[in-house]
Structure 1
């Protein structure tokens, strides 16, 4: 049976930014589609409604197939919201990449400097602020974090193990099935073969593969 995956991008990004990761997942033998949304100009309610339409369309085309999800950064928070709002449509596993499940210190610093509305818009409230519902029972989520600290976080004084934007500690999610740390940056993980391999492993078996690069 072919494994189908829907990819969600992060803040200030577009669906096409996930194409490199889509290619890597296809090399892992997965069937991949991308989902685009207006990350700062719409609310999480609007994201979930649009995502529900896309998922329902998939199930109309593939009524007997499960559908997995992979979300980068904010995309993982959209998936958290979606899972809570429509658990009936989550018929596969979820992998989040560099997602600040516990809130983003970088986003909080941006907000305190008075740049919240132009840079974060609707992405802050009940997402980047860490105010998220718990994972519904039965939803399997694996979180991949990076610890190569090169990125925008340096501009905002980010301290502690991080991927340049998000702290490793922020990527942990209550009720998650597994968590792994790889030596990648926040954006670099989208071009990293090992990240794609670990995502594919989790989607297939519900746990990550421990090796020399993984923590």
Structure 2
């Protein structure tokens, strides 16, 4: 039976932005669907998380349901899967998600842009302390420094232009890798797609020794 993958886009995007990644995952024989939402216009995270959880339920078409989230989408994926009761088994891949909180988002809020971060600004700014959910979590970070976040967020160390690699290193994750891509470029990167496919299938990234 094929395995299903739900794709979550990031802030200021819509589902169509994940089209190339969807195509690459489909070529790897996953059933892929995009979860579209208004990152700024939604009324709040509670209803969105419940709607997302409904998409992660087992079905006759697929008993395994993975989730791949870019940026804010990765944070929402973790929030939805903190309690896995009733959900189909599967893995999570986060691409460029500031899981420990975003310095760029905090800088943007201080400049008066909090309203443009939408109802998820708190999640973006603060992130999580650790991952204790039941699903295996793989994180793909970029290190091509192209993006506005580097200007407003005073990012430290290597980063993808919006998110520092250090911000993606959430305690409790299963595996972590870095590719040559900018923040937005992660969802178009062939290397990132290959790494995502590897983790969804095997729970580790290419180049890692089996655990």
Q: Normalising to structure 2: TM-score of the pair?
A: 0.90
**Aligned-partner Cα distance in 2 for 1:28–1:189:** 18
Contact 1:84–1:134 (Cα < 8 Å) also in 2: no
Contact 1:97–1:144 (Cα < 8 Å) also in 2: yes
SS in structure 2 at match of 1:174: coil
What's the counterpart of residue 8 of structure 1? Answer: 8
The offset of 1:86, in angstroms, is 4.3
Map 1:1-215; keep pairs closer than 5 Å: 1-42=1-42, 43-56=44-57, 59-62=58-61, 65-117=63-115, 119-125=116-122, 127-132=123-128, 134-156=130-152, 157-210=154-207
The offset of 1:101, in angstroms, is 0.2
User: What is the count of residue pairs matched by the alignment?
Assistant: 206
The offset of 1:35, in angstroms, is 0.4
The offset of 1:82, in angstroms, is 0.3
SS in structure 2 at match of 1:88: coil
* Runs of 4+ in structure 1 over 4 Å off: none
The offset of 1:84, in angstroms, is 1.4
Report the CA distance shift for 1:86/1:39 in structure 2 as closer, same or farther (over 3 A): farther
SS in structure 2 at match of 1:129: helix
SS in structure 2 at match of 1:12: coil
**Aligned-partner Cα distance in 2 for 1:23–1:196:** 10
Contact 2:81–2:133 (Cα < 8 Å) also in 1: no
**Aligned-partner Cα distance in 1 for 2:201–2:161:** 29
Contact 2:11–2:71 (Cα < 8 Å) also in 1: yes
The offset of 1:114, in angstroms, is 1.2
SS in structure 1 at match of 2:52: helix
The C-alpha deviation readout for 1:161-213, integer Å capped at 9, x for no partner, is 100110000011221100001111111111111110100000011010118xx
